[in-house]
Structure 1
Amino acid sequence: MVALHTAVAIVLAIGLIIRFKVNPVISLILASLYLGLASGVGFAGTIEAITVGFGEIMTEVGLLIGFGVLIGALLHSTGAFQRMVRVLVRAVGATRLPYAMATLLSTILPSIYVDVQVVLASPVARSASPHVGRNGLPLMASALGAGIFAGYVFVIPGLAAISIAGLLDIPLGRWLLYGIVIGPLTAVLTSLVMRLVLRGGFWKPESDEEVDDALVEQEAHAAAGAEEPSANRPLPLWLMLLPILVPLVMIGFGAFADLLGFATPLVEFVGDANVALFVGLLGAYLLSRRTAGRQRTDDALDDGFHTTGEILLITGVGGSLGAVITRTDLDQVLAGLFQADAGAPVLLSVLLAWFIAALLHLAIGSVSVAAITAAGIIAPVLTSLDVAPIVIGLAIASGAMFALQVNSNFFWMFKALLGLSTKGSLKTLTLGTSIASAVSLPMVLVVSLFA
């Protein structure tokens, strides 16, 4: 019954938002209340889960969202993103932009938190979308989602990849050997499939795009700033992008220091994502004052604060639904399912590992939690399976990406930052991650032939 109530809660939230146009915050709270009361969490437990879940998400990503959105707003005011897009178009061509972004996100940036990646990459995706063509925005959005999560689950040092490898006792070098191939290949193939899906009338801008007024103003200021002659000599593009590059280097250094065992309190401080993005924010502020002037800088900050408030509230409520789900006994139900099939053939074991991770992700709304929980469920019976641990681990990674949707705080960040409606986000992020999960599964089965 727990699985049924969880499914009903997710369908309820999606139905209220899409069919009845109910505000996402209200819809997610109603879904959380239904799930908690129907699954036996209780009145007090449900309220506690909603409030604690909101607070935990804000603790994890609140400052990241705020600093990241402000960095994007300030860099928009300098015209840095527009210049970057022009360079990319000249380098790879407009039609290859989605594949370039998917490859970049899935190979170079997995050490960065997914929330930081979407905050920093979404302005680039939006700025590049007009160059890609009629369906530029959904193509770039799909590539962004597929690239981020393919890297997150398959490529070291992505958090989900490291977690699965650790729980199943798989050497990181062995994981990297397979993951560095499967990750970017999954991201690029997903982008190719999405281009085919979007060829017809699947994408409807009037209902699938929902740009926040502040986001429109922010981009208008950026466009006007790019066209206005500046009294100061234009700064080199690499210098204008330092507010993004420096935080990425800081966070990546901290991740590798922890991975290789030479982390110290100072290194941990420097590599902390909140500290890194604050350094980026300071740099973006100084650059904006230097290139755009005080007034346009203040306008950009005002727009950024407006956008941040909406994102934080929806993100926090998305965390509330996830917290209610974790109070149920869904993980125990799935553990019994896998233990009943110990000793099954390789194909069945791989499919079952994929299915459990996918179902957990649908229920919990967190790729990392789904991956970790699935690995924890399967680890005790791993020795009784006639299949290599690396294959089971990759199957879990593949399944954990499946159908990222409304019970994920990332979904709401993605929606707001890319200027999409809930329906548009389902068509890009949810469908894209579903395709990525399905595309990567045959690759895992190929690995099972010789691993």
Structure 2
Amino acid sequence: MSDVQVLLTTAAAVLVVVLLVVRLQVNPVVSLVVGAVGLGLATGQGVEGTLGTVTGGFGSIMAEVGLLIGFGVLMGAMLDELGAIRRLVAALLRVFGPQRLPYTFGLALATVLQSIFIDVMLVISAPLARRVAPHIGPAGTARMATAIAIGLETGIVLVVPGIGALALAGLLGVPLGQMLLLGVAVTVPTVVVSVAIMSAVLRRTWDPARDEQPVEVPAAVAAGSPAGSPAAPTAPGGAAGDATGDLTGDAPAPGREPRLLLLFAPLLAALVLIASGALAEVAGLEHPVVLLLSDPVVALLLGVLGTSAVGRATAGRERVVCAVGRGFAESGQILLLTGVGGSLAATVEAAGLGDVLGQYFSAGTSGALAGLVLVWAIAAVLHVAVGSVTISAITAAGVLAPVVPTLGLAPVLVALAAGAGSLFLVHVTSNTFWLLQSLLGQTTRGTLKTCSLGVSVASVVALGFVLLLALVL
């Protein structure tokens, strides 16, 4: 096939996927498989070759990140069941005060709590956000809504063990330790700068009369709230401030909940082990024990075992078993979606798109930066069309994975650029948009300001930091 035919055929396959998801409401997993099979057949790979590529791509990405995604989801489900998320939010309020809460809350969501499902985090965090909003100052509700949206969405696609970040790393062959360190390096300043920009904008543009409405929690959301996640953000004793003792105070009295640091210790230890692996690689340290413990699968497995042990000791076996069962149920579609993203990537590579696009970008600085902007733009367009941050990031990575070797770029930069692009313009096709509207008492007009504009600002800011990284790596 000619270069033009390859480009047009690949674009048509992606368009078919988008139309199936958006117009016909076909499940994204099925849609991506249809797109991959159609592309393989249309580019002359034959029936046998196409099916072999689709299944091989699925198996390859599952070997890379299947266990990691499962372990991350299990830890998140157990922490939710143990009430750790609710207590962390209350502790942040007590320690940092309401004025700094938008920043600290956004950073916590983006860097520590990204293994928790967005819908669950919204149900847990929204009541506190509403409660503290009057103490933050002008546009308090809007600033908290923006911080929540920015923190949740950036963490999911840029920071390990966020589901989108794991999928991007697997599809693009990025070591997880490297993805963790550079993802945090991009995410932290992105959240701070974006929240600061939006705080300034919202102070001038927020109109409570037109942008806010009484809070009405949807019955479906209320009914689906996970066990152990009460709407009220208070710690056991009644006051939100009581949670700070969990961080630095004396041992809990009998009958009180365990220290918050104890609940999060296994997850934090797992992230430290993964990061240490990347640092050991840079330092040239190849000790077998270090290599074993810093391996992402082993590190997250230890995190799961540690969280389970803490949960059994503090909350009982039954609650831990319940949380694990819920985690397995929730991870099913995520694993399938990630796997078929690998199928699409393998089919695109076999079609020769990498060779076609690679010739348009030189290995020099300008070509590299242009390549990252292209990655960002493709993910942004896909997100606007599909309405899912995770799906658009995975699809963009699948399309662009074959191009990475020809760009002369570190694969981690391509992963971060795709993640940044997938954040652009969260809008009315997103479940996050409507949950933020209802749980935080915003009108559609207000949610367009806080969620759509706020996360779009974060998308552009994140791209800027990724381009800065490209100049030094």
Normalization by structure 2: what TM-score? Answer: 0.64
- Residue 130 (1) aligns with residue 127 (2): yes
Partner of 1:118: 114
Q: 2:340 aligns with which of 305, 310, 317?
A: 317
CA distance in 1, matches of 2:34, 2:222: 24
Q: CA deviation at 1:181?
A: 7.9
Partner of 1:155: none
For this pair of structures, how many residues does the alignment match?
396
Partner of 1:251: 274
Partner of 2:225: 216
CA distance in 2, matches of 1:284, 1:165: 26
Q: 2:32 aligns with which of 28, 31, 36?
A: 28
1:130-152 alpha-carbon deviations (Å, 9 max, x no partner):
32346767753432333566678
Q: CA deviation at 1:372?
A: 7.9
Q: 1:292 aligns with which of 315, 319, 323?
A: 315
CA distance in 2, matches of 1:144, 1:447: 23
Within-5 A mapping of 1:63-142: 63-93=67-97, 96-97=100-101, 99-100=103-104, 103=107, 118-119=114-115, 127-133=124-130, 139-142=147-150
Q: CA deviation at 1:432?
A: 7.7
Q: Is the CA contact (8 Å cut-off) linking 2:90 and 2:235 kept in structure 1? A: no
Within-5 A mapping of 1:379-390: 379=408
Q: CA deviation at 1:66?
A: 1.9
Normalization by structure 1: what TM-score? Answer: 0.66
Q: 1:44 aligns with which of 48, 60, 75?
A: 48
CA distance in 2, matches of 1:118, 1:378: 30
Q: Is the CA contact (8 Å cut-off) linking 2:158 and 2:420 kept in structure 1? A: no
Q: CA deviation at 1:242?
A: 1.1
Within-5 A mapping of 1:121-270: 127-133=124-130, 139-147=147-155, 184-191=188-195, 216-220=225-229, 232-270=255-293
Q: CA deviation at 1:269?
A: 0.7
Q: Which moved more, 1:123-132 or 1:236-245?
A: 123-132
Q: Is the CA contact (8 Å cut-off) linking 1:78 and 1:226 kept in structure 2? A: no
Q: CA deviation at 1:43?
A: 2.0
Partner of 1:385: none
RMSD (Å) for aligned C-alpha atoms? 5.3
1:278-328 alpha-carbon deviations (Å, 9 max, x no partner):
212222222222222232222222222221223222322232222222222
- Residue 19 (1) aligns with residue 13 (2): no
Q: 1:320 to 1:430 in 2, by over 3 A?
A: farther
Q: 1:377 aligns with which of 399, 406, 410?
A: 406
CA distance in 2, matches of 1:17, 1:48: 25
CA distance in 2, matches of 1:311, 1:180: 23
Q: 1:86 to 1:228 in 2, by over 3 A?
A: closer
Q: CA deviation at 1:41?
A: 3.1
Partner of 2:372: 354
CA distance in 1, matches of 2:472, 2:56: 46
CA distance in 2, matches of 1:302, 1:125: 21
Instruction: Give the AA of the match of 1:377.
Output: T
Instruction: Give the AA of the match of 1:79.
Output: G
Question: What is the percentage of aligned positions where both structures have the same residue?
Answer: 34
Instruction: Give the AA of the match of 2:65.
Output: V
Instruction: Give the AA of the match of 1:318.
Output: G
Partner of 2:460: 438
Instruction: Give the AA of the match of 1:52.
Output: G
CA distance in 2, matches of 1:394, 1:93: 36
Q: 1:261 to 1:16 in 2, by over 3 A?
A: same
Q: 1:311 to 1:216 in 2, by over 3 A?
A: farther
CA distance in 1, matches of 2:52, 2:186: 40
Instruction: Give the AA of the match of 1:439.
Output: V
Q: Is the CA contact (8 Å cut-off) linking 1:78 and 1:225 kept in structure 2? A: no
Q: Is the CA contact (8 Å cut-off) linking 2:105 and 2:147 kept in structure 1? A: no
Local SS of the residue matching 2:361 = helix
Q: 1:102 to 1:11 in 2, by over 3 A?
A: farther
Instruction: Give the AA of the match of 1:217.
Output: P
Q: 1:374 to 1:331 in 2, by over 3 A?
A: closer
Partner of 1:305: 328
Partner of 1:276: 299
What stretches of structure 2 of length at least 5 have no aligned partner?
Answer: 131-140, 161-165, 239-252, 383-391, 424-429, 437-448
Q: CA deviation at 1:87?
A: 0.7
CA distance in 2, matches of 1:84, 1:220: 12
Q: 1:180 to 1:241 in 2, by over 3 A?
A: closer
- Residue 335 (1) aligns with residue 358 (2): yes
What stretches of structure 1 of length at least 5 have no aligned partner?
Answer: 110-116, 153-157, 167-171, 380-388, 406-413, 421-426
CA distance in 2, matches of 1:428, 1:28: 31
CA distance in 2, matches of 1:137, 1:65: 27
1:320-342 alpha-carbon deviations (Å, 9 max, x no partner):
22222222211211222125xx9
Q: Is the CA contact (8 Å cut-off) linking 1:54 and 1:317 kept in structure 2? A: yes
